C-alpha cells in the first residue's frame, strides 16, 4: 500500500511508502485524513521520509488535507521532508504555511 497509518500517543501518522507523490493517491490520502479526523484525532502528521519528488497535484493534495484538518480545529504537520521537496514547498511559499518538523515517528 502507498500509505500507512499508525496511531501514536499524541497524533496519527500517515506515511507515504513511495518515493514520489504524484497526486494519483489523492482519494486514498484524503479518505485517510477524513477517517482519522472522524475518530476525533487532534493532530495528524504526514511522514514524507521516503518522498524525493512531488508534483503540483501532490502539493494540491497536501494543501487540501491541510485545509480539511485545520477547518476541523486539528493540527497538520509534515515530517521527514527531503531537501528537494522542501525547496519546492519554499518556491510556492508553503513552507510558511505548513508546520514542518524533522521529528521521527
The predicted-structure confidence for 30-44, as pLDDT tens digits, reads as follows 999 999 999 999 999
Three-class HEC string of the chain:
CCEEEEECCCCEEEEECCCEECCCCHHHHHHHHHHHHHCCCCEEEEECCCCCEECHHHHHHHHHHHHHHHHCCCEEEEECCCHHHHHHHHHCCHHHCCEEECCCC
**Where do the domains of the chain lie?**
3-101
In this prediction, the residues of the chain whose per-residue pLDDT falls under 70 are 1
pLDDT at site 95: 95
pLDDT at site 1: 63
Global pTM exceeds 0.85: yes
pLDDT at site 72: 96
**Residue pair 47/80 in contact by the 8 Å Cβ criterion:** yes
pLDDT at site 24: 85
End-to-end CA separation in angstroms for the chain: 19
Top-tier CATH class for 3-101: alpha beta
pLDDT at site 17: 93
Amino acid at each position: 500500500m502507498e500509505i500507512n497509518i499508525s496511531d501514536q500517543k499524541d497524533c496519527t501518522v500517515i506515511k507515504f511508502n513511495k518515493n514520489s507523490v504524484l497526486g494519483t493517491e489523492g482519494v486514498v490520502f484524503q479518505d485517510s485524513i477524513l477517517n482519522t479526523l472522524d475518530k476525533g484525532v487532534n493532530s495528524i502528521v504526514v511522514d514524507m521520509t521516503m518522498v524525493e519528488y512531488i508534483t503540483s497535484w501532490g502539493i494540491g493534495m497536501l494543501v487540501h488535507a491541510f485545509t480539511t484538518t485545520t477547518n476541523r480545529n486539528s493540527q497538520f504537520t509534515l515530517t521527514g521532508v527531503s531537501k528537494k521537496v522542501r525547496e519546492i514547498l519554499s518556491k510556492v511559499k508553503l513552507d510558511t504555511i505548513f508546520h514542518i518538523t524533522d521529528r521521527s515517528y
